[in-house]
């Protein structure tokens, strides 16, 4: 089994790092950028840094699919489109570890299983709080909903701004990137696809 074949949420377990090793690495990076980690203002920065990373990358310690396991039995007969628009997320690009932020629209056509709307947001957060590319984030959210709920159709549309483009490189502030994945009826049935985008634009 290669490292690439192991779920990203489990890869960190293959190479454990102690907290002291991590703190030492932060101090090294501070020196690399030209700072003195021993000066008063930076003495507690390594601890604060790791505390922030514990939150920002908490997705590695969760399985977002678990949020979808509990469904509402009393609405099992509902079979119309469910749409959650504008779920905000913050993530970090895996190329530069610089933030990206945006919104996610999720739609699905139930096939006997309807999940709480907050659970869809938890799926977004679970995958966003990892090193990501926007394309991978879009696909992972779609995969989770498709594989756990087994709906007749799934759509995930992500709009984001990448600070790695704004703060460095081409320095394009305000540029939006849009990615989407359409599954099942939203991909194969033109009527359902048209209905989806009509509702999203409403």
How many CA atoms within 13 Å lie on the side-chain side of 3? 5
Catalytic annotation, pick one of 13, 88, 95, 173: 95
Q: Is 163 a residue of the active site?
A: no
* Catalytic-residue membership of 164: yes
The single residue of 132, 134, 140, 192 carrying the catalytic annotation is 134
Catalytic residue chosen out of the listed positions 13, 94, 135, 147 = 94
- Whether residue 164 is annotated as binding a ligand: the answer is yes
Picking from 191, 82, 53, 192, the residue whose alpha carbon sits closest to that of residue 145 is 82
Residues making up the chain, counted from first to last? 202
Q: Residues 66, 163, 164, 193: which is the catalytic one?
A: 164
Considering only the C-alpha atoms of the chain, give the largest distance between any 2 of them, rounded to a whole number of Å. Answer: 64
93 is catalytic: yes
Active-site residue, selected from the candidate residues 125, 132, 140, 162: 162
Q: What's the Rg (C-alpha) of the chain?
A: 20
Strand order in the sheet with 177-184: 131-132, 82-93, 99-109, 153-162, 177-184
Residue 190 and residue 17: Cα distance in Å, rounded?
50
173 is in an annotated binding site: no
Q: What is the DSSP string of 111-153?
A: SS--B-HHHHHHHHHHHHSSEE-HHHHHHHHHHHHHHHH--SE
Q: Is 173 a catalytic residue?
A: no
Phi and psi at residue 75, to the nearest 5°: -115, 25
- CB distance 176 to 161 below 8 Å: yes
Catalytic residues: 93-96, 134, 162, 164
State the binding site for Zn(2+): 93, 96, 164
State the binding site: 93, 96, 164
């Amino acid at each position: 089994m290669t490292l690439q074949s192991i779920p990203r949420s489990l890869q960190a377990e293959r190479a454990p790092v102690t907290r002291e090793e991590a703190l030492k690495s932060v101090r090294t990076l501070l020196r690399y950028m030209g700072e003195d980690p021993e000066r008063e203002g930076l003495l507690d920065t390594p601890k604060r840094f790791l505390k922030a990373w514990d939150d920002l990358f908490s997705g590695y310690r969760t399985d977002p699919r678990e949020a979808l396991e509990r469904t509402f039995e009393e609405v099992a007969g509902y079979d119309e489109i469910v749409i959650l628009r504008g779920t905000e997320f913050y993530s970090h690009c895996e190329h530069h570890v610089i933030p990206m932020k945006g919104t996610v629209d999720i739609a699905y056509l139930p096939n006997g299983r309807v999940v709480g709307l907050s659970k869809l947001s938890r799926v977004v957060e679970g995958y966003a709080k990892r090193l990501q590319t926007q394309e991978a984030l879009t696909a992972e959210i779609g995969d989770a909903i498709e594989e756990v709920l087994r709906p007749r159709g799934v759509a995930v549309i992500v709009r984001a701004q990448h600070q790695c483009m704004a703060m460095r490189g081409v320095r394009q502030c305000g540029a939006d990137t849009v990615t989407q994945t359409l599954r099942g009826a939203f991909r194969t049935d033109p009527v359902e696809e048209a209905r989806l985008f009509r509702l999203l634009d409403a």
